[in-house]
Structure 1
Amino acid sequence: MMTDVNISGLNVGDKHPVRIMGVINLSVESFYKQSVVKPDLLIQTVQQMIQDGAEIIDIGGRSTWPPAPKITVSSEYRRVIPAIEKIREVTEIPVSIDTMHSQIARDALDLGADLINDVSGFTGDSNLSRVAAEYDCPVMLMASRNKPGDVVGVADTLDALSRIIRNAEENGVGSERIILDPAIGRWCEMRTTKHDLEIIKNFKRFTVFQKPLLAALSRKSFVGDVLGKPPGERLYGSIAATAIAVCAGANIIRTHDVAATVDAVRMAEKLRK
């Protein structure tokens, strides 16, 4: 039986509705330029996402798109920490800090963030798992070995997630705190559209860990490759892939497009049942 994860009162797991995570993208280096939120529109954007049906807000300040220029930890910090502070002034919605850096995670949690979203799966900053254990907060961990998403194929992804779970638990993170992300996207040169489609088609295999699953596929490159469209025109393709992921067991959907995704997810949930 799947273990529920409680995110500040919001339960995630098979006994609960699929949760919608709205993306607040503060990285000007992002592959999807239209998604970048300007500081003066931050609160308006968050409130609209909540109105549209978001139950979690994911705050990120650096792009993990491989061609994107790298930024310093201090630059990332200056983007996300003030944003979390502002959000906490207007809403108590669960907030996820999307970071691979322990100091950013620690200060975000101190300001009221509720969970850590680490695309390195605790394979980068060795202190990040310790912060998660210290704060006893939920974590979303993506399949990785030495850098974010450097896994290829279903078998490799399963093995990486198994190692990540073991490492997290050995560092004091509670088993009931872990959410898994099978790493959809062009994270490294070895990854191709074929690999992403394979992950989505076999998404149900990742339920073997009996932990909630995050599907983060909004407007990603595999959609563009299949449809021949840029990020701004990938909504419908993203929605189709989202519905398939939900039918296959996804418990959280991370999206730039909350309203459209909510409708697709609710329909897919009915079909899954």
Structure 2
Amino acid sequence: MPSEAPVQPPPPIKIGGHCFEWGQRSYVMGIVNATPDSFSGDGVLDPAAAADRAARMVEDGADLIDVGAESTRPDHQPLDAAGEWARLAPVLRALREAVSAPISIDTAKAYVAERAFDAGADALNDVHGLRADPALASLLAARELPAVLMHNQRGRPPVGDVIADVRAGLEESLAIAEAAGVRREMLILDPGFGFGIGPQQSLELVRRLGELRCLGRPLLLGSSRKSAIGWALGREQEPPSTRAAGSAATVALAIAAGADIVRVHDVREMADVALVTDAVLHGRRRGDPA
């Protein structure tokens, strides 16, 4: 499955003092869900337990940690900004003390993001691509921090081709960011696997991910444990925690297609998948001379 990546990868991004160089290797983002209703069944509200999980993820190979306090499942119970921050704050502070790896905040609310940045968060991960809160883009510009902007197809009429839909949505998010003064080189793009699209379209995203390299930004894919994997396995009713092997297939194929970051629950296994996939693609082990 060839990648459509340009000859020259995007320039590096500094996240929390760590330099992420694109095109040389893939990176693993470990997920910490500070929620009681995570679709993956791994939510943790106790700050000490969350910090322990993040520390184990870093030991297991996570390059950065993503933490959020509001579920993004379609039937989740929405939180207002104050409620989301009240849940997130103690967990974030515990994580910041436990790990030196970069921490991104999974939120679409400027109120939450501003306080999280003050508490030591290094980046934003917005599943609404700056469309949900008009103040968020201005906050990013003022703080000059990196952000992952995701395309979310929920509530948007499709035009028929999944890549055309995703590309149009991501271009809108890039335009919102740049209009607010956010530098394009600080942005990472996520096509939104499983957000408002069916399982076949989600898997098509993996297959055709390289077509989004034309946007000139690093790509992140978050397929881990998603229902599309359960669908492909023919086991939709089994718990999401049983989907690690299926997730591994999407991680390897996404990296081969051009993903720079994979967002995962099962860090140890997926870090190994990323290492081996990188070795296949580049013809050497990570760290060996070129």
Q: TM range, normalised to the smaller chain? A: over 0.9
Structure 2 distance, partners of 1:218, 1:51, is 19
Alignment partner, residue 44 of structure 2 = 37
SS at match of 2:134: coil
Q: Identify the match of residue 212 of structure 1 among 218, 231, 245.
A: 218
1:84 aligns with 2:92: yes
Structure 2 distance, partners of 1:133, 1:215, is 24
**Quick check: 1:138–1:178 contact (8 Å CA) kept in 2?**
yes
Note the residue ranges of structure 2 that are not aligned, 5 or more in a row: 1-7, 283-290
Structure 1 distance, partners of 2:267, 2:115, is 27
1:160 aligns with 2:166: no
Shift of 1:272: 2.2
Structure 2 distance, partners of 1:43, 1:144, is 29
Question: Residues 21-170 of structure 1: matches in 2 within 5 Å?
Answer: 21-33=29-41, 35-39=42-46, 40-144=48-152, 153-170=162-179
1:221 aligns with 2:221: no
Alignment partner, residue 183 of structure 2 = 174
Q: Identify the match of residue 236 of structure 1 among 235, 239, 245.
A: 245
Which amino acid counterpart does residue 51 of structure 1 have in structure 2? Answer: E
Larger mean Cα displacement after TM superposition, 76-85 or 118-127: 76-85
Structure 2 distance, partners of 1:15, 1:240, is 20
1:260 aligns with 2:260: no
**Quick check: 1:121–1:148 contact (8 Å CA) kept in 2?**
no
**Quick check: 1:143–1:182 contact (8 Å CA) kept in 2?**
yes
What is the CA deviation profile of residues 72-121 of structure 1, one whole-angstrom value per residue up to 9, with x for unaligned ones? 32221112122111222233210000000001000100111000000000
What is the CA deviation profile of residues 198-248 of structure 1, one whole-angstrom value per residue up to 9, with x for unaligned ones? 111101111111211101111001001111143021000000110000001
Note the residue ranges of structure 1 that are not aligned, 5 or more in a row: none
SS at match of 2:30: strand
What is the CA deviation profile of residues 113-152 of structure 1, one whole-angstrom value per residue up to 9, with x for unaligned ones? 000000000011000011111100000000137x688767
What is the TM-score of this pair, normalised by structure 2?
Answer: 0.88
Structure 1 distance, partners of 2:251, 2:21, is 17
SS at match of 1:158: helix
Shift of 1:11: 2.6
**Quick check: 1:13–1:211 contact (8 Å CA) kept in 2?**
no
Structure 2 distance, partners of 1:209, 1:272, is 22
Which amino acid counterpart does residue 60 of structure 1 have in structure 2? Answer: G
Alignment partner, residue 245 of structure 1 = 254
RMSD: 1.7
Structure 1 distance, partners of 2:69, 2:157, is 21
Q: Identify the match of residue 3 of structure 1 among 11, 16, 22.
A: 11
Structure 2 distance, partners of 1:115, 1:149, is 26
SS at match of 2:178: helix
Alignment partner, residue 209 of structure 2 = 203
Tell me the number of residue pairs that the alignment of Structure 1 and Structure 2 aligns.
Answer: 268
Alignment partner, residue 3 of structure 2 = none
Alignment partner, residue 272 of structure 1 = 281
The percentage of aligned residue pairs carrying the same residue is 32
SS at match of 1:97: strand
